Structure formats: structure tokens, C-alpha cells
Amino acid sequence: MQQVKSGDVVKVHYTGKLTSGDQFDSSVGREPLEFTVGAGQMIKGFDAAMPGMTIGEKKTINIAPEDGYGERSEEAIIPFPKENVPADMKLEPGMTLTLSNQMGQPVPVIVVEVKDDIIVLDANHFLAGQELIFDIELVEIVG
């Protein structure tokens, strides 16, 4: 039976959960996720679990923060000038906004605090610092 190796294009179904049991993502009910193993398209821990799997195989993996979305970083807490926000925009802690990085790519941020002249934003990935649990099923090895 064919086993997955680095460089293979695969299709998987997955369900991602936190250690609390809360589910944060799943492909169930959608098309399987397709990616190239070892190409850096997935978080390290997910990618590393694929080699050796066979079609139809299911496994559950635990991924430490450093092999997932990294640890939370204080450098990702950003003071943002309030004058750069439209005056009619009502900001509240917990709101999600989208900024653009230097390359024009969207970066989701969460409003942490609204002060008189600045807004404190958190640009950490919402799964940063979390241990992740994935149930994975290999559906197909495309090539």
C-alpha cells in the first residue's frame, strides 16, 4: 500500500480541537483539504504527521505551540493611533479588525483596549500559545 512521502500532494479530512475539547476548525462536510507534504503550506506539526500514512488511515496528533502557530508574542501587541481609524467606527475590546502588512496582505487583529489617543491591538494568531489536537484522515494521495 502506498505511503505518503515528502513532496506528495495529499487530500485529508481533519478536525482541529483545543485541549479543552473546543473545536476550532474542521473539513467535515466540505471538500477535503489538499496540500503538498513538506512544502510549508501547513503548520509544522501537521506536516510532520503525514509521511508514512496510507489511504484511509486515521490518526490523532497533538501539536505543541512551537510546531503550531507559535507562542504568543508581546511584540504582536500593537499600539495603533486612533486618528488612523475612521471617526464613525465604534471600537470595542474583543472586536476583530483587519490591517494590512508591508506586503499588502491582510492581518487579522483583535482590539484589546481603546484609549483616548491609541487603540491597543493584538496581532497574535488566535491559536498562538495553544496546544492543538487534530484528527486526520488521509483520503487520497494525488501525486
For 20-67, write each residue's pLDDT tens digit.
999 999 999 999 999 999 999 999 999 999 999 999 999 999 999 999
Q: Does residue 2 lie within any of the structural domains?
A: no
Confidence band of 101 (pLDDT split at 50, 70, 90): confident
CB 27 within 8 A of CB 12: yes
* Same domain membership, residue 14 and residue 40: yes
pLDDT of 88 > 90? The answer is no
Question: What range does the domain containing 116 cover?
Answer: 74-122
Kindly state whether residues 45 and 84 are assigned to the same domain. no
The pLDDT of residue 131 is 97
Which residue bears the cell 481533519?
14
Same domain, 43 and 96: no
pTM: 0.82
Q: What are the Cα distances from residue 37, in Å, to 5, 33, 99?
A: 7, 12, 30
**Residues 85 and 110 reside in one and the same domain:** yes
Burial of 65-77, coded b for 16+ CB within 10 Å and e otherwise, reads bebbbbeeeeeee
Closest CA to 130 of 80, 62, 53, 83: 62
